[in-house]
Amino acid sequence: MIDTYWRCVALTPERITITNRKRRPSGRYFFVRRPSMLSLYDAAALRNALTLPLRVGLKSLLEKRIAQIFADGLEDLTHTIVLCPGDTEAALKAEILFSPLEREGRRWGDPGFETWWDWLHDHGGWFELIYCVGNSGFAFVLFVEDADSDGLADLLAMCRASGRGEGVGGGGD
């Protein structure tokens, strides 16, 4: 029998690995890499993100956006999420309590659905969506890697259909 999964996080300056550990019937362990979104929900997390060993394209996007967030004094009013292939809409919804694909009982692709982001931009390899919440200045900033992903197929289709341009405002609002 395979023992229960548990999460193992190995943090080293060279890499970050988030895995689930399983015990084989032989008693040896093996690791299965599980995708994990990057969730930056406060000033400390944003600062820490700049020290992570991220791919060059993503790191430069985050450096620019995080610098802007701090310059505008919004570091404690911004929740930034980085989604990569393997992440799922369900995991995103669990993290931020809404899905970009749903609005007022309608889902993207349904007749009458209107997108509702405040900003969508195609950075070439990454989509950036910004959702402002209320009048306090709070916003969710989502970076979605433009790479095939079963768990994010609808979100990518929506971004690809809408985001080929210099920056696109939201739907009907």
Token pair 């790479």 is at which residue?
147
pLDDT at 169: 52
Sheet holding 16-23, edge to edge: 6-11, 16-23, 29-33
Per-residue pLDDT of the chain (173 residues; tens, 9 = 90+): 233 223 333 333 333 343 444 444 444 444 444 457 899 999 999 999 999 988 889 999 999 999 999 999 999 999 999 998 889 999 999 999 999 999 999 999 999 898 889 999 999 999 999 999 988 889 999 999 999 888 999 999 999 998 655 445 554 43
Residue 24 in tokens = 């084989």
Distance CA 146, CA 6 (A): 30
Residues 140 and 131 sit within 8 Å (Cβ to Cβ): yes
Question: pLDDT at position 86, please?
Answer: 87
